[in-house]
Amino acid sequence: MWPSPTTQQVEVRRLRKIAGWLSLDCGHVRHGEDADPAIACAQGALKSGRRFYVAFEYVGVDSHGVTGLARNSEGEVYEVTTDDLGRGAFGAVSRHARTVTVTRCEVAPTERTSYPANRYLTCFTE
């Protein structure tokens, strides 16, 4: 029996499906890593109109996951979030559940910073 795919694998498959073949892979930024190269790559692709995808890991109180952006051949940008509930910073909760949310961006992606200092791109306004 094959092991179930990781959160990262689920996320990257969805992002690649949106962006399509021969799209620019701007990288996967692990929690706590320098996001500068991935953000610069994605922002460059947005400016030039190129298809791309990029992903950023996060760790929440009761979950961890990956959020990313992908631009398709029609120029539409989507944000994909894969969340694993029950595997956060404070240990496991009683049950594990994975959700994948895909949302078409209505506004241009912007850079954000989350606690403690993780940088990422998102198209959601807070």
pTM of the entire structure? 0.86
Compute and round to an integer the Cα radius of gyration of the chain. 14
Query: pLDDT tens digit string along 10-40?
Result: 999 999 999 999 999 999 999 989 999 999 9
Which of the pair, 120 or 126, is modelled with greater confidence? 120
Q: Does residue 123 carry a pLDDT above 60?
A: yes
Task: Please check the confidence at residue 114 and state whether its pLDDT lies above 60.
Answer: yes
- Which residues, other chains included, contact 55 with Cβ-Cβ below 8 Å and sequence gap of 6+? 8, 11, 12, 15, 27, 28, 29, 66, 67, 68
